[in-house]
Amino acid sequence: MQTIVIVLIVIVIFMILMIIGFMRWKKSAIRVMDDGEVMETAMGKIHYKLTGEGPVLFFMHGGPGGIDQAIFLDDMIQEGYSILAVSRPGYLRTPFVPLSYEEQVDQYVELLDKLKIGKVVTMGYSAGGPLALNFANKYPERTHALMMEAGVSTVYETPSEAPDSFWMKLFMRDRIQDLVSWITIIAIRIAFKMIFKSIIRLETLLDKEGIKKFADLVSNDKERRRWLIKFMDTTVPMSIRKLGLNHDIELLTSIEKIPVDNINVKSLIVYSKEDNDVKWLNAEYLETNLKDFELLVTHGGHFMWIGEDMEKIKSKRIEFLKSINFE
């Protein structure tokens, strides 16, 4: 009897500590809502952040995401550029309004006008790709250049395993989505290699040996490990990103063709043939239809930014931007 009581006490204490830990994490995680500014536009409020001085790089985040994902371009501020990031409808402090891609880029132009920004370099990452292309195509007079890094450019299909995966189903459950977010953040810190392997099995087309090699590379490198942990932090809590993610998926899966006929500016396109999320056909579409582009083929699938070409991607960005006439 005494043993049972002790076990129950231990369980209760453990549960209390779990609740305290979760609440502290969530309080810290939602501080991202205090970052940046909110601008009123004709199509509703938009959450944005502008940092740095110099030519403006307009960062369009992946999904799920928000303005906080622009942290991965902080090194560009040191190179003399400004970073403008916005949270799409339903992400962070941008209220959900079911705006089309075309309507969103119209809203972006109004934001630029109010910020007195003339032209930008549009940067489309993953689910942000359609926005970058639509902006550059509809507003060529406001576009210095185009940069697409694993950005969706054509018909999109979610990885076949994703919708039915156990974790995805948990992430999308309203009552427990933030708890699952917290458990995932803890898990990746405790069992980094195991969690990373499970991610790249879904997000890449690498074979068993390729997955092992990639997991070893990232697990044994502090900078790459930090990148992934920071990235995971910019995808949670799900409760402040879920409406945006749902809208992203709805728009992405309805894409038939993204027009690029009016894009005449220099373009840098960076893709991996091993990407199981934004597949190689996205690079092929841009290769076929853009007029003036450079293509960088990388390794690592949808996590090419921490793959073996990590430094090559960084240096190519800088080299490309230095080739642009910002006058």
Query: Which residue, 175, 195, 230, sits at the end of a domain?
Result: 230
Tell me, yes or no, whether 280 lies in a domain.
yes
Give the chain's domain count: 3
Q: Which of 175, 208, 230 is the last residue of a domain?
A: 230
The residues facing 204 across adjacent strands are: 275
Here the CATH number for the domain that contains residue 124 is 3.40.50.1820
Map tokens 């708890």 to a residue: 179
pLDDT of residue 46: 98
Range of the domain at 180: 166-230
With a pLDDT cut of 90, the percent of the chain lying above it is 81
| 153 in the same domain as 92 | yes
Residue 313 exposure: Cα atoms within 13 Å on the Cβ side: 23
Confirm whether 237 is domain-assigned.
no
Are 255 and 310 members of one domain?
A: yes
In this predicted model, what pLDDT tens digit does every residue of 149-175 receive, in sequence order? 999 999 998 765 555 554 555 556 667
pLDDT tier, 254 (very low <50, low <70, confident <90, very high otherwise): very high
How many beta carbons lie within 10 A of that of residue 141, not counting itself? 8
Contact 84, 58 (CB under 8 A): yes
Instruction: Give me the pLDDT at residue 295, please.
Output: 98
Question: Are 271 and 217 within one domain?
Answer: no
Exposed e or buried b for every residue in 199-221, given b needs 16+ CB within 10 A?
bbebbbbbeeebbeebbeebeee
Alpha-carbon distance 217 to 196, whole Å?
11
The values of phi and psi at residue 5, to 5°, are -60, -45
Distance (Å, rounded) from C-alpha 300 to C-alpha 274?
6
Q: What rounded mean pLDDT belongs to the chain?
A: 92
Same domain, 86 and 210: no
Fill in the DSSP letter of residue 91. Answer: S
Q: Half-sphere exposure (CA, 13 Å, Cβ side) for 282?
A: 34
Same domain, 70 and 118: yes
Does the structure show a pLDDT above 80 at 285?
yes
